[in-house]
Amino acid sequence: MRSRFSIFASIAAILFFALVAVFGASRPASFLRSGAVGIAGPFARAAGRAGVWLGFGAESFSIGRIRALEEEAGRLAAAEARALALEKENESLSQSLGLRTGFGASLKSARVLQYQSSLGRETLVIDLGSDDGAAEGDIVIDEKRLLIGEIREAGIGFSKVAVASNPGITFSGVLVPLGGEVLAKGIGARALVLELIPSDVPVRSGDFVIWTREDQRGNPAVFAGRVAGSVAAGSGTFKTGHAVLLSDPERTDRVMVMSRQ
Amino acid sequence: MMQQRYMIVLIGGTLASAFFIERLAAGAAAGRLFIPPLSLLAVLAWFPALPLSWRIWLGGGAGFLADSFGDFRFGAAILLMIFLALLTGFFRSIISDRRPLFAKGAIAACLMGSFFLLVPLAAKIAVSISV
């Protein structure tokens, strides 16, 4: 009798979880996931905050240093228009309304429910889901207009954000202040590889990488990374470098989601 | 019945502690260190001591939690944990239980090694079967 019950329970469990795994995007599964995030989210968030308090992470990149760079970038023709727009909007950086005015109606605010780093990948869970207009591929920035990452999965009432330095994440960028388009790839541990740097573009340690996308041209710049170390001279037309992600996802309480226009 | 309740409390406490420590370590390391999925590894450590139905429910639940919060493609951790719950029986059959504690430790170690080997495969399977 007990063994029959055990077999029945095992089969029921396999069927249940197989259905949840296969139909993960369906409404019932999304509600289950929203429930799990809602119940365990505060516990996870508290643990993350305790970790940040205990931790030995690097000091957060300050708004003061970003402004100093913006003033330098404004002097150069390649980034002059964006730098002037940044200078005008500096005062409203921390206000969501000011940020929305700069980026247009496609910017939505969200609260970070938890931060996790596991198997070399960092993930944020935010409280903005597909029912609020979030979609896979939307870019997420913090209140300092630093790139956090992109939405990997949008559920009902929540979304999972993959940090931009995770392995497998790739985005287009522009070097500041000297210009030049690059392809930035995440390699984990907050590091980015900069590829396809034209060999005639000078790149210095300390230069910045701005995230770009075709439908976002004309919007205020989103800073992604800072060039670190020397740039390796390639044998062909391009060279390769490295950068460090500027944002601190583990310390972020609120983010902004940029939807595709 | 009392023993079952005691087991449930112990397993729940282990899972909650591992979940907490994993996020504590993630917040402290701030992406600069490799943090293993401690909650899933804690569940795998319990597998050798549990009957099949318990393993599947516990593994599926822990996988569901990991898929909801982590960077796993949804479904990958669920499928992987259920597979490992079934694989426990195979390891039990090939590892001698003359010294039970050592045998359980060996089975848990085999399951954890299998977990790390199968994570990429589980992610690909989850992508292909999800609707």
Each residue's pLDDT expressed in tens, for chain A with a length of 261 residues? 667 888 888 888 988 898 888 887 778 888 888 888 888 888 888 888 888 887 755 455 556 666 666 666 555 545 656 655 666 556 555 454 445 445 555 788 999 988 888 888 899 999 998 888 888 889 999 988 899 999 988 888 889 999 999 998 999 988 887 778 889 999 988 999 998 888 887 788 888 888 887 666 556 678 899 988 766 666 677 888 899 999 989 888 899 998 865
Instruction: Name the token pair of A225.
Output: 């990374």
Interface subset of B 89-118, CB within 8 angstroms of A: none
| B60 in reach of chain A (CB within 8 A) | yes
With both helix axes pointing from N to C terminus, report the angle between B76-94 and B38-46 in degrees, rounded to the nearest 10.
30
ipTM of this complex prediction, to 2 decimal places: 0.82
Query: What distance in Å separates residue A37's CA from the closest CA in chain B?
Result: 7
Yes or no, beta carbons of A21 and B79 under 8 Å apart = yes
**Cα atoms found within 13 Å of the Cα of residue B80, Cβ hemisphere only:** 32
Task: Select the residue from A118, A148, A159, A252 to test the B interface by mutation, using most B Cβ atoms within 10 A.
Answer: A118
Q: How many CB atoms lie within 10 A of CB A28?
A: 10
Distance CA B117, CA B81 (A): 13
Nearest of A155, A135, A139 to residue A147 by alpha carbon: A139
Yes or no, beta carbons of B67 and A249 under 8 Å apart = no
Yes or no, beta carbons of B67 and A24 under 8 Å apart = yes
For the entire predicted model, the pTM comes to 0.74
Query: What's phi and psi for A43, nearest 5 deg?
Result: -65, -45
- Yes or no: say if A153 and B74 are a contact pair by the CB < 8 Å rule: yes
| B13 in reach of chain A (CB within 8 A) | no
| B2 in reach of chain A (CB within 8 A) | no
Candidates B20, B36, B37; nearest CB to A47: B20
Candidates B60, B69, B74; nearest CB to A24: B74
Which SS3 state, helix, strand or coil, does residue B81 take?
helix
- Yes or no: say if B81 and B61 are a contact pair by the CB < 8 Å rule: no
- Yes or no: say if A161 and A152 are a contact pair by the CB < 8 Å rule: yes
Distance CA B10, CA B4 (A): 10
Instruction: Name the token pair of B1.
Output: 């019945």
Identify the pLDDT of residue A139: 92
Q: DSSP code of B46? A: H
Instruction: Name the token pair of A168.
Output: 């497998």
Pairing of strands A238-245, A121-126: unpaired
Nearest residue of A to residue B130 by CA position?
A22
Yes or no, beta carbons of B27 and A58 under 8 Å apart = no
Yes or no, beta carbons of A115 and B23 under 8 Å apart = yes
Yes or no, beta carbons of B69 and A40 under 8 Å apart = yes
Q: How many CB atoms lie within 10 A of CB A44?
A: 24
Size of interface A-B (CB pairs under 8 A): 175
Q: What is the pLDDT of residues B67-118, one digit of tens each?
A: 888 777 888 899 999 999 999 999 989 888 788 888 999 999 999 999 999 9
Distance CA B47, CA B95 (A): 14
Residues 6 or more apart in contact with residue B91 via CB below 8 angstroms: B48, B106, B107, B110, B111
- Which residues in chain B have Cβ-Cβ distances shorter than 8 Å to A3? none
Identify the pLDDT of residue B80: 93
Yes or no, beta carbons of B31 and A55 under 8 Å apart = no
Distance CA A133, CA A141 (A): 16
Residue B55 has pLDDT above 90, yes or no: yes
Yes or no, beta carbons of B37 and A118 under 8 Å apart = yes
Query: What distance in Å separates residue A180's CA from the closest CA in chain B?
Result: 29
Amino acid of residue A83: A
| B48 in reach of chain A (CB within 8 A) | no
Nearest of A261, A83, A60 to residue A174 by alpha carbon: A83
Distance CA A218, CA A260 (A): 14
- Which residues in chain B have Cβ-Cβ distances shorter than 8 Å to A24? 67, 74-75, 130
- Map chain A to HEC letters: CHHHHHHHHHHHHHHHHHHHHHCCCCHHHHHHHHHHHHHHHHHHHHHHHHHHHHCCCCCCCCHHHHHHHHHHHHCCHHHHHHHHHHHHHHHHCCCHHHHHHHHCCCEEEEEEEEEEEECCEEEEEECCCHHHCCCCCCEEEECCCEEEEEEEEECCCCEEEEECCCCCCEEEEEEECCCCEEEEEEEECCEEEEEEEECCCCCCCCCEEEEECHHHCCCCCEEEEEEEEEEECCCCCEEEEEEEECCCHHHCCEEEEECCC
- Which residues in chain A have Cβ-Cβ distances shorter than 8 Å to B53? 6-7, 9-10, 13
